[in-house]
Amino acid sequence: MGMKIVGGDDVIVISGDDKGKIGKIIKVVKDKGYKVVVSGINLCKKHIKQNGNKKNGILMDELPIDISNVALFDPKNQIGTRVGFKLLDNNKVRFAKNSREVVD
């Protein structure tokens, strides 16, 4: 543990074209800086050409966005929040800084 935002978290987009939208993190990409793929956010159309058994058409695909453009969504306050760490029974856990509730 050590990452503030992990796969499966509900996040809100805080900047960019999709600002204000809420989605769930599908995966975290660590290649060149940290980026996240969020369901329903940063969609692009990909045109597919028919090839053998594959059908042609247009697919909607999610592209990664920078991790600094998302914030953890706090369901209690219905806003984005920062994440902190604290020890609870000798276990390191994440907590939402707005509501002080444990996330994990």
Does some domain include residue 88?
no
Mean pLDDT of 16-37: 92
17 lies in which domain range? 10-75
Does some domain include residue 95?
no
- In this prediction, residue 10 carries a pLDDT of 95
Does some domain include residue 65?
yes
User: What percent of the chain clears pLDDT 70, i.e. is strictly above it?
Assistant: 98
- In this prediction, residue 2 carries a pLDDT of 57
Residue 1 has pLDDT above 90, yes or no: no
Say how far apart CA 19 and CA 1 lie, in whole Å: 28
What pLDDT, in 10s, does the model give residues 35-77? 999 999 999 999 999 888 888 999 999 999 999 999 999 988 8
Our count of domains for the chain comes to: 1
Does some domain include residue 18?
yes
Average pLDDT across the chain, whole number: 91
Does some domain include residue 86?
no
Say how far apart CA 104 and CA 15 lie, in whole Å: 25
Does some domain include residue 45?
yes
